[in-house]
Structure formats: structure tokens, C-alpha cells
Amino acid sequence: MEPKKISLVASSRRDFIESFAYTAAAGCAVVKACTNAVFGALLPEPATGAGYVQLKVENYPELQTNGQTLRLGLCGITGRRPEQRSANTNFFPLLITRSSEGNYWVVDSSCTHNGFLVESQGSVLFCPTHGSRWQHNGTRISGDARVNLKSYKTVFRSDVGSMGELAVEVPRLGYSVILSPVDSAADRLELRFTARQAITYSVMYRESLGEDWLAVQFASSATSTLDQTSFTPTTSDTTARLWVAKPATSGFFAVHTRVTKV
Ligand code: FES
């Protein structure tokens, strides 16, 4: 059975961008169905435990203009109070501001006073709860918050896409993927990885290294229907087990982390 591919393209370009910006593939494996062999998990868990959010600049107008700020969520948020955010308070939205072409500041949106959500307001970052203010690079200006916002490391590659690609290193987001055959279901493979609470994951597939990744449907058990398109753990960090259709020939699987504008 071939992995059933699903379209990444939603109803509009805006939906596409907001729904399907990913971290890097955290792991992949080669499958040769003819020998029934599975070759490894190719990417080991990063030594630092970090994962990389990779953003093509062409997909985000905010990343194309100096002084504009993009707020990017790794988990959903519903309000600015800590208890209104996702249950996973390890991953607050990122505030990404372009300082000049190819250079970006990325800081955490968790206020260093009481952890409420910080937002961009004109030339500063601002916490509406008690009025603290910072520069876009996270340097404190004034208010009850006494320290700078946490900042993230970035890498910019100008040779990706038409406008370059920004990678943001996010602590604790990294994971590796183990792929193994399933004895009880010869037409399936099992993927295992450490999943973080409230983060949404999708399974991707490509037949060869030169092709684009495509999302594929998966199952939540070795025998259930292959009809899932995303997985979001509701409990704290856990070992996720997902099952996919074994390709007829060969291919690569990866698990991607979804991020959205918030
Ligand atoms: S929570 Fe942000 S200034 Fe108090």
C-alpha cells in the first residue's frame, strides 16, 4: 500500500502559510519494501535538544520589511493571560522582527514580570498587563519587568527560496524519529518520537531526496484506519507512536512540527 498523500494547500494562500509552516524534519528513514528492511533513524536527536523553526521569508510579509514583527505560535493561544494560553507553557510564541535584510531579532513573548503575553506596539514590544516595554531585540526599556526578554539564536540562509530562509533555534523542540516494521501488519511501519504537550505534529513523506515533502495520513494504532492528518498530545511529554502505510518501493518519512501566526 502506498502512503496516501494529502494536499497541503488549503483554501487560500494565507491559510496555506498559516497552517503549514514547519520546523525542520526532525528525522527520516529509508525503506526498501522489496527486502522488508528499514534503515535507521537518520537524524539523531540534537545534542542540545533544540529544534529549528524554518521560515521562508517569501511566505511572511512581516519578515520582508525592517521593523515589522511576526508573532509565531508553536502552540495555540486564546488570550493574553497565562492561564488562557495553551496548557504547554514551555513554548510561548516567538516575536520575530527584521532589523535589516537577512538580520532578525527573535525573542520570547513571555513577559519577564508575570508571564503574560507581550505584543508588538509600534517601535517597541509591550506588555499590556502592567505596561512594561522592551526594544525589539528584547532589551528592557521600562516597567515592572526588570530584565530583558529571552532571545533565540537565528541562522539566515540567502540561498533558499526567492528571499532566503530564517531558522530559529528553539530549546527542547528537537526530537528524533525511529521507524520500524510492524510484525502484525506487514503493510505498515511504525514511527516513534518524543512529542511535546500541545505541539501539533504531521507526518510527511517523499519518495526521493529531490522531491518536496508531502503530508500523508496515518493511524493511531497498527490496525486502525489510516485517516489521521495531525497529532497533538494533551498530556505532558510522551512517546508518540503513529503508523503509516509502507511504500511500495522506497522513500523517506519525517515528522514535522506545525507553527502558526498568532
Ligand atoms: S505581566 Fe507584563 S508587566 Fe506585568
Q: Average pLDDT of each block of 10 consecutive residues along the chain (262 residues)?
A: 51 41 48 46 56 86 94 77 61 93 95 92 94 98 97 93 89 81 79 86 83 87 91 86 85 82 82
Distance 233 CA to ligand 1 centre (A): 29
Q: Which of the listed residues 129, 147, 148 should we mutate to test ligand 1's pocket, taking the one with most ligand atoms within 8 A of CB?
A: 129
Q: Which of the listed residues 80, 111, 134 should we mutate to test ligand 1's pocket, taking the one with most ligand atoms within 8 A of CB?
A: 111
Which pTM was predicted?
0.82
**What are the structural domains of the chain?**
13-45+175-261 (no CATH), 53-170 (2.102.10.10)
CA–CA separation, 140 and 121 (whole Å): 14
- CA distances from residue 178 to 162, 168, 228, 236 in whole angstroms, order as listed: 33, 24, 19, 20
Rg (CA), the chain: 20
Instruction: Give me the residue label for grid cell 526599556.
Output: 141
DSSP 143: S
Neighbours of 36 (CB within 10 A): 10
Distance 190 CA to ligand 1 centre (A): 45
Distance 133 CA to ligand 1 centre (A): 9
pLDDT of residue 74: 82
Q: Which of the listed residues 80, 85, 132, 148 should we mutate to test ligand 1's pocket, taking the one with most ligand atoms within 8 A of CB?
A: 132
Neighbours of 189 (CB within 10 A): 23
pLDDT of residue 35: 43
Amino acid in position 182: V
Q: Helix or strand or coil: residue 83?
A: helix
Distance 113 CA to ligand 1 centre (A): 5
C-alpha cell at 166: 530564517
Distance 249 CA to ligand 1 centre (A): 56
What residues are in contact with ligand 1 under a 6 Å CB criterion?
111, 113-114, 116, 127, 129-130, 132, 143-145
- β pairing state of 238-245 and 37-39: unpaired
Q: Which of the listed residues 130, 141, 149 should we mutate to test ligand 1's pocket, taking the one with most ligand atoms within 8 A of CB?
A: 130
Q: What own/partner pairs with CB < 8 Å and gap ≥ 24 does 153-156 have?
A: 154/104, 154/106, 155/52, 156/102, 156/103, 156/104
CA–CA separation, 66 and 46 (whole Å): 32
Distance of CA 152 to the CA centre of its chain: 15
pLDDT of residue 164: 93
Distance 18 CA to ligand 1 centre (A): 28
The predicted-structure confidence for 18-44, as pLDDT tens digits, reads as follows: 444 444 444 455 554 434 444 444 444
Supply the mean pLDDT for the chain.
80
What residues pair up with 179 in beta bridges, in sequence order?
191
CA–CA separation, 227 and 224 (whole Å): 9
Distance 131 CA to ligand 1 centre (A): 6
Q: Helix or strand or coil: residue 97?
A: strand
pLDDT of residue 54: 83
User: Each residue of 133-171: b (16+ CB within 10 Å) or e?
Assistant: bbbbebebeebebeeebeebebeeeeeeeebbbbbbbbe
Q: Which residue, judged by its Cα, is nearest atom 3 of ligand 1?
A: 130
- Please state the atom number of ligand 1 nearest to the C-alpha of residue 116: 1
Q: Which residue, judged by its Cα, is nearest atom 1 of ligand 1?
A: 114
E strand or H helix at 206, and its extent? strand 201-206
Residue 58 burial (10 A CB sphere; 0-12, 13-18, 19+): middle
